Amino acid sequence: MKCRILEKGAELYFRYGVRAVTMDTIATELGISKKTIYQHFPDKDAMVYQVLESFIQNDQCKWEDLNKSSKDVIHKTLLSLEIMKTTLSEMNPRLMFEVKKYFPKAYDLFTKYKEDCIMNSLKVDLKTGIEQGYFRPEIEVELIARLRMGEVDLSFDPNFYSHSKLSFFDTQQILLDHFMRGILTEKGLSLYLSYQNNN
C-alpha cells in the first residue's frame, strides 16, 4: 500500500505541484481513507521527502544507463535531453519552486543530489570533452558547470521568462543549445551538428 500511495503522490505532485495536492486529494484518487495514508506517512513533509527521494533514485539509474549507452560526451548530452524531455513533460514547472519554498528538508535532499552527483558528473563530462578535443581547452570547468546548473535552476523559477509561449522543455532545449555552442571547438561543433541532423 505504501508504494501505491507514493506512486500516486508522485504522479499528482508532478502534474499539479505540491501545494495544490493535499492528503485528501491522494486518498480520494486511491479510494482509501486519509487515515490509511497517515499510517505510512506521518505528514505531508514526509510524503514529499520520500517522493523526491524516489525520484532521485530513479534519476540516478537513468544517468548510469546513459553513461553506458552514449558514444561520446556530445552524444551523452543530446541523449540527456531526451531524458529531460520525458521528465519535463510529466512535471509542473512550479514543482521545484514550491518544494524549495514550502518543503525545505526535501529541497535540501535535492540540493545535495545536485551538488554531489549532477555537478560532479557535469565536471567529468566537461573534462572528458576537453580531452577528446570537443570542448574548448581554455574553459573554466567549475565555473562552466555551475553556469549550466544555474540555467536549469533558473528555468524552474516561475518568474523567469514568465510571458514566454515556449514549453518548459523547449526553453531547456534552447538554453542547452546556446550553452553547447559556447564551449564547442570546431571539431565538437561538427559532431554536434551531425547528431542533430540525424535526429
Q: Looking at residue 162, what is its pLDDT? A: 64
Radius of gyration of the chain measured on its C-alpha atoms: 19
Comparing CA positions, the residue from 56, 48, 46, 47 lying closest to residue 110 is: 56
Mean pLDDT of the chain: 91
Q: Domain range for residue 57?
A: 2-197
CATH number, domain with residue 19: 1.10.357.10
Which cell is 89 given? 513533460
Res 25 pLDDT > 90: yes
What number is the average pLDDT over the span 99-104?
94
Give the whole-number percent of the chain exceeding pLDDT 70: 97
pLDDT digits (tens, 9 = 90+) for 44-68: 999 999 999 999 999 888 888 888 8
Q: What percent of the chain has pLDDT over 90?
A: 69
Residue, of 199 and 193, whose pLDDT is higher:
193
Residue 70 to residue 47: CA distance in whole angstroms: 35
What region does 17 belong to: left with phi over 0, alpha with psi -120 to 50, or beta? Answer: left
Q: Is a pLDDT exceeding 70 seen at residue 161?
A: no
Average confidence (pLDDT) over 131-136 = 97
CA angle 105, 77, 60 (to 5 degrees): 35
Which pLDDT belongs to residue 54? 93
The structure's pTM equals: 0.85
Residue 6 has pLDDT above 90, yes or no: yes
Question: 138 versus 163: which is more confidently predicted?
Answer: 138
Lowest mean pLDDT among 36-45, 48-57, 76-85, 122-131: 76-85
| Number of domains the chain contains | 1
